[in-house]
Amino acid sequence: MIPLVKISFVSIVLFFLFSCIGPVKEIKYQIEDSWENSESFTDDPLPLKNVDNKFEITDLWSGAFKGRSARNFSVCKNDNLIYYASSDGVVSQIDIIKRELSWDYIYSKNITSSIACSGKSAFFVDYDGFLISLSNLGSLDWKSFVGEVFSNPLVENENIYIRTSDNELISLSIIDGSLLWKYKLPSSPLPIRSWGEISINNNIIYIGSASGKVSAINALNGTLIWESTFSPPQGSSEMERSNDTTSKVIVDEFVIYAVSSIGSIASLSSDNGQILWARPLSSFKGMTSDKDNLYVSHNSGSIYALSKETSKVKWRNSDLLGRDVSRGFIFNNLLIVSDFEGYVHFIDLDDGNIIARTKLSDDLILNPVSGLEGKSLFFVSINGSFNELSFNFHKSKIITSNSSESLEEIDVNDSENIKSNEKIDNEDSILDKLIFWD
């Protein structure tokens, strides 16, 4: 007779293998996470564990912009000015030195893209497909037709780069909006409306596209340097094979890192696109990095730290499952993420533990930008509320697994967590393989 315990374990494994936790269901969740109301994907979010904050968080300044509804947008900062654009057509500027609202620009059309800024101008795309340039005094400079845009424009030197919804990459002059060049990116039969950002380094644009591809394009003339498929489509249906690269490509000097919305994460040579390593892990929201590691926000809500060199998992935090976790932001040895309820979570980069938390809104929080002299962070929610936070890291000593302190100074639970992380680094757990690794 087979022991009941073994039967139960086999049943659990078969349930996960043959249930809907597969490419079709995952891509459905990825689309919902990005374009529908939060209620549609948070039926069973994991309840938050209590956190005893390890440092003091101070709210220096808070308020609300006039515009509302900026889901999946971002704010931009230029010198001491912060710009915010709402989808209902209001652009606002804040002076972070004076801590005051400088102006509101009431635009006649809805806004579909995030706002970008550089020098004395700010840029956004309206519902009719026009790229709009505003002066830093809040007046209209020029407008130029580019087509439907949901992604984040990128300003570099005297040019602005835009990805349209029909996968055209366009370069225009920021002086007058004149067209410099166009390049047609690969398309998929079932495209995902993406706000994925463009990366640029040494006059080379790196951008993800359909079917698990990433391209390197000459930023000066729009010619293709190379194109590489790092996450080949799998499955028989268009839904299963729709694994667009929607998140920002991370660029190091000789290596780039890309992750597809359903499929793989990979390291590639920036010279020719050769794949250096690849492994199963997907993300719609994207990733961030420091010198040694990548920090990936998985579609399930788990957060992974991977070695850039080997792709090994350093740690996995699964405390925020089902909470529509944002892409991470690194600040002072912390990885900062937010969730659908407006909580901001501060995660220790060394061991992946949440060491502080604060609630700023009842809605999603956009990725933060640094405040004055990088000593504070400025958070904006999708409903237009904002907070400037500072942090006092001297109130309590933060001890991590990489600390020079002896293990006697770390409690028993911390010691167990360290052992668990070391085990994950050597071998992925069965839960990773069944659920979290796609």
The model's pLDDT over 197-216, given as tens digits with 9 standing for 90+, comes to 799 999 999 998 877 889 99
Residue among 103, 106, 135 nearest 121 (CA): 135
Task: State the pLDDT at residue 17.
Answer: 43
pTM here? 0.80
Q: Residue 243, exposed/middle/buried by CB under 10 A (0-12, 13-18, 19+)?
A: buried
pLDDT tens by residue, 81-126: 999 999 889 999 999 999 999 999 999 899 999 899 988 899 999 9
CA 203, CA 182: separation in Å to the nearest integer?
16
Q: Which residue has the higher pLDDT, 375 or 428?
A: 375
Residue type, 185: L
Of 19-23, 117-121, 156-160, the least confident: 19-23
Beta bridge partners, 200, equal 205
284: pLDDT confidence band, cut at 50, 70 and 90? confident
